[in-house]
Amino acid sequence: MPVLLRIALRNLLEHKAKSLIIGVLLALGVVILVVGNSFMDTAAKGVKDTFIANYTGNVFVSGKAKSPISLFGIQSVGQMDSTPVLPDYDKVLAKLDAEPGVKLSTGQVTGYALFSPKDSDNQGFAMLFGIDPSSYYKTFDGFTVLQGRLLKPGEDGIVMTQTYLDRMKKDQGWAPTLGDTLLLTGMSKVGFKIRSVTLVGIVRTKNDSDATSFISWVNVDTVRILQGYTLGNDEETPVSADQKALLAATDEDALFGAPTVIETSKKSAAPVVSAAPAAPRPKAVVDQGAWNFLIARTDSEVAAAKAIADLNAYFAKEGIDAQAADWKTAAGPFAQSIDVIRIVFNVAIIIVAIVAVIIMMNTLVISVIERTGEIGTMRALGAPKGFVRKMFLTETLAIAVVFGFVGLLLSFGVIAAIQAAHIQAGNGFLEILFAGKVLNLSVNPMSVAMSLILVALVAVLAHLYPVSLALKVEPVRAMQTE
């Protein structure tokens, strides 16, 4: 091996220009891979930390649906389907809490609503997370209260983010203030529903971002009513004696022969106005068992994976129409956006690698052609084909190692320059990708190692074809080549 290495280094020094071309390509490849993977790792970590800490936890349980389901509901092509109610909630909750590694869990109902102050035409939109404050704030403890307080159990209130209120003020010229009474209007299968709530708190979450600032938190029964998860009314509707007699009548003349209310009112000189106050509106009886999701925090990712597997096996065994998934499923479009960016990045890397291989291959072909006489002499002196292959492989790997580390140093320099530039996130989505307001790239040692290995692999692939061409030439003819 030392002999091959000395020969390889001598040949590289004798062909400085061609070695430099190949080396620059390899160094550039390392820079692209290390910096690109650092950005992807930062983005993935930012999204993961934001959603696990604030919204999704590690384990996400929901009912089954034909379309993909996330914590934000079901998004189907062309329309928004209703989010299914989680069946056998109590059994599923008991099974989830019994899983090793599950620290905390809570339920949630998700809905959408338009909100507006009383006696005002101003209007806003909010995604509503219906929660049980007694368990939700233990599961997600990253709320910083800026004004007011968090929700109390059973309270008809709403908590909103300061980021969203600031954006409303900027874009629409108004925003709710602490203590305002807001009318929430939601649309369900049974029509429009309206609820009155008070803005009791303004908060900031961990890794606060514009992209998720439209989420507001209300008591779970508020969302249940807006979504139509009701069983009836808990008060009897008052019925007069005449109305009871009319409902009890079976004779056709009794039903249709009597004068109508309109006819009776026409004969009366005085207007028919009831002096009695209107009866209070019956309160809705809420389906207390209606939950869309269960969310849990675990000790580790390993515990989360085991809990998900155990839950899905349990659902299949018990015939429960539910499913367990990880935080990426719960995050829905936000996590999918990271996957799309990574796919685009990987496709771009493949294209760059193909171009680099072609350029390097052409450079090596020229180098091999120039050394045909040398190769023929070595073959004539008894050097086997394997020795020639190892010689060129050693040369290629030497270039890859030297310029790979040069590229690595350049990569660290680029990352340091990006850190020093304090690049600001221009919108909410970038805030999630940057894991904050400013881009702070994180370097993953595994990504660095894989980048160096990939670059070395590209170099090895590039040298195979030129060497195979050289070995096809007979030693005698090769020695005759100048």
Q: What is the pLDDT of residue 462?
A: 78
Task: List the chain domain ranges.
Answer: 2-51+336-480, 59-232+285-325
pLDDT band at 26 (very low <50, low <70, confident <90, very high): confident
Let me know if 117 is exposed, middle or buried by CB neighbors in 10 A (0-12, 13-18, 19+). middle
Distance separating alpha carbons of residues 94 and 102, to the nearest angstrom: 11
Q: What is the pLDDT of residue 481?
A: 56
Q: What is the pLDDT of residue 259?
A: 52
Tokens of 356: 């680099």
pLDDT band at 386 (very low <50, low <70, confident <90, very high): confident
Cβ neighbors of 405 (< 8 A, separation 6 or more) are none
193-219 per-position pLDDT tens digit: 889 999 999 999 876 777 788 899 999
| Res. 109: pLDDT tops 80 | yes
Report the predicted TM-score, pTM, of the whole model to 2 decimal places.
0.69
H or E element at residue 423: none
Beta pairing partners, 61: 294, 324
